[in-house]
Amino acid sequence: MTSHDKPNSLWMATSAESTAHAHLNEEISCDVVVIGAGFTGLRAAHKLADAGSDVVVLDATDVGFGASGRNGGQVNPILPFNGPEQVRKIVGNTHFERLTEASLGSADSLFDFIEKHQIECQARQNGWLRVDHCEKAKIVSRKNADAWNKYGANIEFVEDDKLQKLSGSKAYRSGILAPRGGAVQPLSLAHGIARVAKNAGARIFGNTPATQLSQTADGWKVETPNGSVATKWVILATNGYTDGLFAGLKNAFIPFVSVQIATPQLPPDIIDSILPEGQTLSDTRRVIIYTRREPDDRIVIGSHGNLGRNGLLTGFKWLKEDAARIFPQLEGMKWEYEWGGKLAITDDRLPHFHEPAKGLIAGMGYNGRGVAMSNIMGTVLADRVLGADPNSLPFPVSPVKKIPFRNIQMLGKGTAVWAMQMLDKMETSTSR
């Protein structure tokens, strides 16, 4: 049984850096409080500290405890689900141009940052394969790829023998290859950004949940169990881990759970047959599978899961069966690690920038494509604090509003995943 809070994670076992931060136990003041020490919060903290702001980061647990230290580490530069015209319809022409530029450049921008700051996180930009589970998915995916290529996405189509050689699986016949995509060891990256932010002057506190926010004459007061921070600005960077700190914020998305498993180091005959050129892979199913090959000859694979009230993660049995179906080389595998975490899904499948009160901003809702995008969002949140007009940012300002039928969607999540699996199965089998 795998617990969410004490995960048996490959990333924890192999992180290049790791630091425990002391909790806040006094009353302090600063220019900006960042709540949440994942990619979003840490990138915001770094940019602000670098620009001379006095920044304090608070995390309820510590750096990388949330999705940033648990994810699949796929650096994917294309917005999820939507083709460009759908995005344009949602955000309008001006934001469309900016958001497209930001998202298509997001992987390059992250890899540049990693290189510039010498962050040891096994970064590799070998491309991302998105493979089609059925004919219908192939048509939609090609149409969207063609459309994104008009904006410089540079996506290639791959089929049959070439795809099977690149993926090491006979389960897919077509897909796209986005060459700017790649992979990182996510927990190492989170610790690396934290180090860079601290070097720039940010102060980070672990085991310090923000428990209350109150507006003051000069800004905000953030209460924590053993201290408080008086500040001009508050940045909420809590994504799928958002609690009730700011009323209504957690209702603006649906928290989804994703789980992953990792093999032990594999012998050459097996490892060399899977993703031999080092691309990452994800498929087009509703209950997606995503996978990657590690520099130390392991395979990591993930999909949807669930989190019980008892704090235990589920979904591993189905994932192990599916992994062996897609890669028969992994049949009978004794998986060495299993873990999972929470991410945030928005109603329009786009990341949301919120500014619900003077001096209080939030950025979240990356819909499973947050490794590159949360890094962009962090810098955008910093720009806003540094004086950028909210209308000049890549993301439009979204109101904090409850997702329609959220309660029903939350209750029905288990059934919905089951129904999605059934639909995926039907489509896959009728396409053979």
Ligand X SMILES: Cc1cc2nc3c(=O)[nH]c(=O)nc-3n(C[C@H](O)[C@H](O)[C@H](O)COP(=O)(O)OP(=O)(O)OC[C@H]3O[C@@H](n4cnc5c(N)ncnc54)[C@H](O)[C@@H]3O)c2cc1C
Tell me which residues touch ligand X (CB under 6 A): 35-41, 58-61, 65-68, 70-74, 76, 209-210, 237-241, 243, 245, 258, 260, 290, 302, 340-343, 364, 366, 368-372, 374
Q: Between residues 421 and 431, which has the closer beta carbon with respect to ligand X? A: 421
Q: Give SS3 for 168.
A: coil
Cβ atoms 362, 235 nearer than 8 A = yes
CB of 260 to ligand X, least distance (A): 5
CA 234 remoteness from chain centre: 22
Q: Between residues 181 and 396, which has the closer beta carbon with respect to ligand X? A: 181
Locate 75 and state its tokens.
């650096």
209: exposed, middle or buried (Cβ count in 10 Å: 0-12, 13-18, 19+): middle
Q: What DSSP assignment string belongs to 216-261?
A: -SSSEEEEETTEEEEEEEEEE--GGG--SSSTTGGGGSEEEEEEEE
Q: Rounded to whole angstroms, what are the CA distances from 226 to 29, 32, 85, 233, 246?
A: 14, 19, 49, 21, 20
Q: Between residues 204 and 343, which has the closer beta carbon with respect to ligand X? A: 343
Locate 210 and state its tokens.
């923000």
Q: Between residues 137 and 229, which has the closer beta carbon with respect to ligand X? A: 229
Give backbone dihedrals phi and psi of 397, rounded to 5 degrees, phi first.
Answer: -75, 120
Distance CA 432, CA 428 (A): 7
CB of 238 to ligand X, least distance (A): 4
Q: Between residues 173 and 186, which has the closer beta carbon with respect to ligand X? A: 186
Among all residues, whose Cβ is closest to ligand X? 370
Q: Between residues 158 and 213, which has the closer beta carbon with respect to ligand X? A: 213
CB of 301 to ligand X, least distance (A): 11
CB of 72 to ligand X, least distance (A): 3
CB of 207 to ligand X, least distance (A): 9
CB of 432 to ligand X, least distance (A): 28
Q: Which residue type sits at 93?
A: N
CB of 159 to ligand X, least distance (A): 24
Distance CA 385, CA 234 (A): 9
Q: Between residues 225 and 328, which has the closer beta carbon with respect to ligand X? A: 225
